[in-house]
Chain A
Amino acid sequence: MSAFPRTPNTRPLPNVGLPTDPDYEQRLAEFEARIEAGEKIEPGDWMPYEYWRQLVRMISQHAHSEVVGMLPEGAWITRAPSLRRKLILLAKVQDEAGHGQYLYHAVETLGVDRGTLIHQLLEGKAKYSSVFNYPTLTWADVAMIGWLVDGAAIKNQTMLAHCSYGPYSRAMVRICAEETFHYKQGKEAITLYAQGTPRQRRWAQDALDRWWWPALMMFGPHDKDSPNTPALMRWKIKTKSNDTLRQEFVNEIIPELMAVGLEIPDPDLRYDEETGNWLIGPIDWAEFWQVIRGNGLMNQARMAARRQAHEEGQWVREAVEAYARRHQARQAPEKIAA
């Protein structure tokens, strides 16, 4: 269960086909016909190795992003400026933990268990969304993350709800419903602050200035620089490209941000009458790759926090196991057991 092979020489699951299999071409044709017909691929169904590998990569990165994504906002729960905001933020961060949980389960349907994935994350071998390697500097950042970062995530996840892999698609349907609440509360708060006291207005603009570009980078490199896109689109793991999604997002959000009186931090931004698109200036991809390589402002702190929680929780997990062994016969396991 814990193998995570990198080479197609190893078959991770009996239902995963390798290009060297004698019936590979025939089964691949059948598989692609099913996808073309709009059928969902389910756990246990035949799938080519590359499909399996891409799903494990994407879903596990997504799961890690939810778990690491608890940290930037979670840091403000204790400082939320009203009881209502505190309750909303707690519920939001709780949802993120829940999303991590469903997504780890989705990867488990591909034969890779959560323990293996968490180990990879803590070893620094797994990726997660770079946006969480930026710091949250004021309370307004929490609201801006809801509006921009969750807004961008919804764009991506609404697309992934049409994914050809059944468990991922279904997880996305459920997650999108909750993300919509995250987006709404963020937008509602920023709308209030953008028209609030001078400090609240300053915080709202400052939050937009710092989160705008990282949010746009969430859609990933331009299509021409995205080596995984062709395979992902061919097998309908993704149904829209990075640039298409990014353009849809900016077209929707720019008028909304302007409507509340915020200034988009892009001197090259212009509206193209012909296509109806907002055209953004160049994205600083050097920064993007720097953050991915671990040199963002918060990469080390995020991993240190995850590792600390894991290490400090070790004795708890051991105790849970020891107790379960001693009391297996006496008591049915409850849902809180690991």
Chain B
Amino acid sequence: MTGQLDAQLQQALADRLLALADDEVILGHRDAEWTGHAPILEEDIAIANLAQDEIGHALIWYQLREDLTGRDPDETVYFRDASAYRNVQMVELPKGDWAFTMLRQYLFDVYERLLLDRLVASTHAPLAEAAAKIRREEIYHYRHTSTWVERLALGTEESHRRMQDGLDRLWPFAAQLFVAGPGDGALAAAGIFPDLSELQQAWEATVRPFLEQAELTIPQAEPLTVGRERHTHWLPILLGEMQVVARVETPETAW
């Protein structure tokens, strides 16, 4: 299948797959931090499920990238420093409170669901097949997190305040999900990956009315539009923990 793409598209696709995978692995890490510490036992179960799904999706994207580049998924995750990661800053921010966690996951889930809706029609068959597989789980995530956002936003005065604080903080970061990388124009032109500005419009058309209906105020702050090579200091701290065991041995060591 890789033979169907020219070198430039192949590089562009590998870069985009890395962005997709890195978002999911870092978000999955943040979700996993709640396991055993969630507000309700049922949510320990649900958040562990979300984390498994996100990390499982990351693995699928890393494997598709491996098909193009030969780079092993575990080596990619455990033996890269922060500056080589291509996740958005939104997912690397500390887990915060339950409102922040659920809102971040909701904003990401809407993006991912809309992305997958488009990716199932990708002209690159392996990408379309992977998207179809992941989409089933994402529908469940979306239902779960949107219910939580609504419930907390319309719950008590305190839960509303916490949800609004979360939105004030997260909203500018969410825009970075739609910042195109150097190869994304070519991928969109070839029908491999959707156009990110159209995706952003669809995302806003979903999240804005939903948040407003939940009596939340969308902040006017300046959106984050830097590229995915830019990170906060939270990422190296996160990676320091994530990579600590793997890095005591060589990348070839089996675990």
A336-B55 CB under 8 A given contacts A199-B249, A200-B249: no
Asked whether, in the complex, the Cβ of B35 is within 8 Å of the Cβ of A77, the reply is yes
Give the chain B neighbours of A97 by CB distance below 8 A. Answer: 35-36, 41, 44-45, 48
Greatest chain A CB density within 10 A among B35, B73, B156 is at: B35
Confirm or deny: B52 has a beta carbon within 8 angstroms of a beta carbon on chain A.
Answer: yes
Contact B36 A79 (CB under 8 A): no
Interface pair A90/B154, CB less than 8 Å apart = no
Tell yes or no: A254 within 8 A of B by CB: no
Contact A322–B36 (Cβ < 8 Å): no
* B221 in the interface (beta carbon within 8 A): no
Cβ < 8 Å to B, chain A residues 96-133: 97-98, 100-101, 104, 114
Residues A319 and B33 in contact in the complex (CB < 8 Å), given A79-B244, A79-B245:
no
Interface residues of B in 50-70 (CB under 8 A from A): 51-52, 55-56, 58-59, 62
Q: A319-B151, A320-B155, A336-B43 are in contact. Are A83 and B74 (CB under 8 A)?
A: yes
Whether the pair B44, A70 counts as a contact (CB closer than 8 A) is yes
Indicate the member of A85, A90, A199, A326 with the most B CB atoms within 10 Å. A90
| A308-B37, A319-B155, A319-B156 as given contacts; A94 in contact with B246, CB under 8 Å | no
**A77 to B246 CA separation, bound complex (whole angstroms):** 13
A80 within 8 A of B: yes
A23 close to chain B: CB less than 8 A: no
Q: How far is the CB of A24 from chain B (nearest CB, A)?
A: 37
**How many B residues face the partner with a CB closer than 8 A?**
53
**Contact assessment for B42 and A78 in the assembled complex, using a CB-CB cutoff below 8 Å:** no
Q: A94-B45, A315-B162 are in contact. Are A309 and B36 (CB under 8 A)?
A: yes
Q: Is A192 an interface residue (CB 8 A)?
A: yes
A334 touches B40 (CB 8 A): no
Q: Do A316 and B244 have beta carbons less than 8 Å apart?
A: no
Q: Decide: A312 near B29, CB < 8 A? Known: A91-B52, A318-B156.
A: no
Q: How far is the CA of A318 from the CA of B44 in the complex (A)?
A: 17
B35–A313 CB distance below 8 A: no
Q: How many Å lie between the Cα of A326 and that of B48 in the bound state?
A: 29
Q: Please determine whether A101 and B42 come into contact, CB atoms closer than 8 angstroms.
A: yes
Tell me how many residues of A have a C-beta within 8 Å of chain B.
Answer: 52
Question: B55 and A93: CB pair below 8 A?
Answer: no
Q: Contact flags (1/0) for A313-329 with B, using CB distance below 8 Å?
A: 11111111011001100
Distance of A42 Cα from B130 Cα, bound (Å): 47
Which residues of chain B have C-beta atoms less than 8 A from A100's C-beta?
Answer: 41
- Contacting residues of chain A (51-69) with chain B, CB-CB under 8 angstroms: 67
Pair B155/A322 contact, Cβ less than 8 Å = yes
- B245 contacts which of A80, A196, A334 (Cβ < 8 Å)? A80
A137-195 residues at the B interface, CB under 8 angstroms: 139, 189, 192
Q: Which of A71, A82, A104, A320 contacts B36 (CB 8 A)?
A: A71
Residues of A near B74 (CB, < 8 A) are 82-83
Contact A81-B35, Cβ < 8 Å, known A90-B51, A94-B45, A101-B41: no
If A87-B52, A91-B52 touch, does A81 touch B78 (CB 8 Å cutoff)? yes
Answer yes or no: A1 CB below 8 A from chain B CBs. Answer: no
B residues less than 8 Å from A320 (CB atoms): 40, 151, 155
Query: Does A319 lie within 8 Å of B42, measured CB to CB?
Result: no
Asked if B48 contacts A313 (CB within 8 A), the reply is no
Chain A contacts of B245 at CB under 8 A? 79-81, 139
Write the chain A residue with the least CB distance to B30. Answer: A78
Tell whether, in the assembled complex, residue B241 and residue A79 are in contact, meaning their CB atoms are under 8 Å apart: yes
Could you tell me which residues of chain B, from 120 to 157, have a CB within 8 Å of some CB in chain A? 144, 147-148, 150-152, 154-156
**CA–CA, A71 and B34, complex, Å:** 11
A275 lies within 8 A of chain B by Cβ: no
Shortest distance between the CB of B44 and any CB in chain A (Å): 4
Interface pair B39/A309, CB less than 8 Å apart: yes
The CA of A189 and the CA of B41, in the complex, are separated in Å by 28
In the complex, residue of chain B having the shortest beta-carbon distance to the beta carbon of A100: B41
Contact with A along B18-46 (1 / 0, CB 8 A): 00000001000100110111111111111
Q: Is residue B81 within 8 Å, beta carbon to beta carbon, of the partner chain?
A: no
A90 touches B155 (CB 8 A): no
Point out the residue from A84, A101, A196, A314 that lies within 8 Å of B253, measured CB to CB. A196
Q: State in angstroms the CA–CA spacing of A74 and B55 once bound together.
A: 16
B255 to chain A, nearest CB (A): 4
Is A335 among interface residues, defined by CB-CB distance under 8 A?
A: yes
Closest A-chain residue to B56, C-beta based?
A87
Contact (A199, B46) CB under 8 Å given A313-B98, A315-B156, A319-B155: no
Instruction: Let me know if B7 is at the binding interface, CB within 8 A.
Output: no
Distance A81 CA – B58 CA, assembled complex (angstroms): 15
A-B contact list, 5 entries, CB within 8 Å: A83-B25, A83-B77, A87-B56, A101-B41, A312-B37
- Given known contacts A139-B255, A312-B98, A334-B147, what 7 new A-B pairs fall within 8 Å (CB)? A77-B51, A90-B48, A91-B48, A97-B45, A101-B42, A316-B98, A320-B151
- By a beta-carbon cutoff of 8 Å, the part of chain A in contact with chain B is 67, 70-71, 74, 77-87, 90-91, 93-94, 97-98, 100-101, 104, 114, 139, 189, 192, 196-197, 199-200, 305, 308-309, 312-320, 322-323, 326-327, 334-336, 338
